């Protein structure tokens, strides 16, 4: 099993930094089912080709074999889930979008040529084109003859695939990791919930927009309908939620007019609304609870009115992402002093949460089990007790307007509940009474006359009596 990645940009050997593999060396990794090797067949300033060769262990492959096909099959040669697992191991850093030595290269589009020596394409060359062309690839699919001497054996389903495009290495690897298993019929391991996460992680930024996304999701998850539903619902939510972050003013100026006119996604609207509300409340010190990957933190940081911004999340991984995307280590000292990240849980009383003007809890409560929500209410409104609290959560009534969300399903596999507007108002109203806050509500996103807006926001402010 062999795939190659060729960079023909100037200083082509930058590919080595991006793949975290020095072109001068041979790199090998032991896997449960064989061995993966990375080597370079050329490494000049004009052209650099990295080859990933996977040798499947024949003994491992026939473990549990019962019939002839178990021994004689195409598994050792064709690109399959074995290859994508190997890619995950050997190119893990590149797939995660990291490049320690040359971080600026990660987002650089390079003229890349990818070849997959043997691929078995269900649906033939048409499917190859349908999958890769929308991603900007020029596709060459050369059928590998079954056998010239026996035309009766029919058309081969095997192809040598060449893809050319100007893409980032990170995107190219992500495309392969999703689409190779889609083309191949078999997956050599159990498909469970973790596969949905993996699919959405590798598909971030492109899968939601792909015209064949339904086909991709179905085939990737081997048509396990509960998983397919889950993935489609999350994709749909992400499609509404994908934040196009404007990194800097110069970039903003460079955006094409049509991009500026593009309707804002739901999550962008939500984050903008929260930032605006925090500003009108004249809050200067902000706590972002369940800050995730730091999308709100970045927005707040761009406005000097916010003097101290603290993000807390229970997930260490999210905090790492937040730190690298802010990016903390490349920020001028003065900026860096304004922002602070910490690991912690909303379910436990924590002294570090005291003394803030406002707290934002954006799309978090629906991830908590109901009994735990009660703990969070006391932690936030009784002990941390900021002057203002902004909470957003989905509005379940709006779900019927999502065309591919099956009736009764929640938008995200990890949501424990989604509230109607009345349920949210009841919950928030009761909190106001119990802890001495007054509450107002705002819709988030376009308002449907009957079902309301897709998301809802409550703004709590300490009453004069409550502030004593």
What residues make contact with ligand SAH under the rule CB under 6 A? Answer: 290-292, 295, 313-315, 318, 345-347, 362-364, 367-368
In this chain, which residue has its C-beta nearest to ligand SAH? Answer: 292
The region, left, alpha or beta by phi > 0 then psi within -120 to 50, assigned to residue 205 is left
Residue with smaller CB distance to ligand SAH, 367 or 421: 367
Separation of alpha carbons 335 and 339, rounded Å: 7
Least distance in angstroms from the C-beta of 367 to ligand SAH: 5
Least Å distance, CB 109 to ligand SAH, is: 26
Write the Ramachandran bin of 174: left for phi over 0, alpha for psi from -120 to 50, otherwise beta: alpha
CB of residue 392 to ligand SAH, shortest distance in Å: 8
Q: Which of 273, 262, 257 is nearest to 239 (CA)?
A: 262
Nearer to ligand SAH, 201 or 223 (CB): 201
DSSP 172-197: HHHHHHHHHHHHSS--SS---HHHHH
Q: How far apart are CA 170 and CA 91, in angstroms?
A: 10
Cβ proximity to ligand SAH: between 15 and 361 the closer is 361
User: How far, in Å, CA of 75 to CA of 79, rounded?
Assistant: 8
Residue 78 · residue 118 · CB < 8 Å: yes
For the record, the structure tokens of 162 come out as 């060449």
Minimum gap (Å) between residue 266 Cβ and ligand SAH:
11
Rounded distance, CA 146 to CA 162, Å? 19
- CA separation for the pair 79, 178 (Å, rounded): 12
83 versus 312: smaller Cβ distance to ligand SAH: 312
- Tokens representing 148? 């010239």
| Between 61 and 312, CB nearer to ligand SAH | 312
Q: How far is the CB of 30 from ligand SAH (least distance, A)?
A: 33
Alpha carbon distance 185, 222 (integer Å): 8
By beta-carbon proximity to ligand SAH, the closer residue of 175 and 298 is 298
Residue with tokens 């192809």: 159
Give me the least distance between CB of 251 and ligand SAH, in Å please: 21
Comparison of 17 and 427: residue with beta carbon closer to ligand SAH? 427
Q: Can you tell me whether residue 111 is helix, strand or coil?
A: strand
Among residues 43 and 274, whose Cβ is nearest to ligand SAH?
274
Pick between residue 119 and residue 278 the one whose CB is nearest to ligand SAH. Answer: 278
Least spacing, CB of residue 84 vs ligand SAH, in Å: 26
Helix, coil or strand: residue 260 = helix
Structure tokens at 388: 């203002």
CB of 34 to ligand SAH, least distance (A): 36
- Kindly provide the residue ranges of all beta strands, DSSP E only, lying in 80-228, ordered along the sequence: 110-120, 138-143, 158-167
Q: How far is the CB of 428 from ligand SAH (least distance, A)?
A: 18
CB 124 within 8 A of CB 161: no
């Amino acid at each position: 099993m062999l795939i190659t990645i060729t960079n023909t940009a100037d200083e082509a050997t930058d590919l080595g930094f991006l793949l975290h593999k020095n072109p001068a060396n041979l790199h090998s990794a032991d896997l449960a089912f064989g061995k993966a090797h990375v080597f370079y067949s050329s490494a000049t300033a004009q052209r650099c080709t990295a080859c990933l060769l996977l040798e499947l262990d024949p003994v491992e492959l026939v473990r549990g074999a019962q019939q002839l096909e178990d021994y004689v099959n195409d598994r050792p040669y064709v690109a399959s889930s074995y290859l994508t697992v190997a890619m995950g191991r050997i190119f893990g850093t590149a797939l995660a979008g990291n490049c320690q030595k040359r971080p600026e290269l990660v987002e650089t589009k390079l003229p890349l040529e990818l070849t997959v020596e043997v691929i078995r394409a269900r649906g033939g060359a048409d499917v190859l084109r349908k999958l890769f062309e929308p991603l900007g690839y020029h596709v060459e699919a050369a059928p590998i003859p079954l056998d010239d001497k026996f035309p009766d054996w029919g058309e081969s389903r095997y192809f040598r695939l060449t893809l050319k495009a100007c893409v980032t290495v990170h995107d190219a690897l992500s495309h392969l990791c999703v689409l190779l298993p889609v083309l191949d019929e078999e997956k050599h391991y159990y498909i469970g919930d973790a596969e949905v996460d993996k699919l959405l992680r590798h598909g971030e930024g492109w899968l939601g927009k792909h015209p064949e996304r339904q086909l991709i999701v179905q085939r990737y998850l081997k048509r396990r309908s509960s998983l397919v539903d889950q993935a489609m619902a999350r994709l749909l939510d992400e499609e509404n939620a994908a934040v196009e972050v404007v990194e800097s003013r110069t970039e903003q100026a460079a955006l094409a007019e049509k991009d500026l006119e593009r309707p804002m996604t739901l999550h962008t609207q939500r984050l903008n609304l929260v930032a605006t509300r925090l500003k009108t409340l004249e809050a200067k010190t902000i706590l972002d609870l369940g800050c995730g990957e730091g999308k709100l933190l970045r927005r707040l940081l761009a406005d000097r009115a916010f003097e101290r911004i603290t993000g807390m999340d229970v997930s260490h991984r999210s905090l790492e992402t937040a730190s690298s995307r802010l990016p903390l280590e490349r920020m001028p000292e003065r900026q860096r002093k304004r922002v602070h990240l910490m690991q912690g849980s909303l379910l436990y009383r924590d002294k570090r949460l005291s003394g803030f003007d406002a707290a934002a809890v954006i799309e978090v409560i629906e991830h908590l089990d109901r009994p735990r929500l009660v703990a969070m209410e006391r932690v936030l409104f009784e002990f941390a007790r900021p002057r203002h609290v902004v909470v957003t959560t989905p509005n379940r009534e709006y779900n019927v307007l999502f065309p591919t969300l099956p009736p009764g399903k929640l938008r995200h596999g990890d949501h424990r509940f989604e509230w109607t507007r009345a349920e949210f108002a009841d919950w928030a109203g009761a909190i106001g009474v119990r802890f001495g806050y007054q509450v107002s509500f705002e819709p988030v996103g376009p308002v449907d006359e009957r079902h309301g807006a897709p998301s809802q926001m409550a703004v709590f402010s300490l009453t004069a009596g409550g502030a004593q």
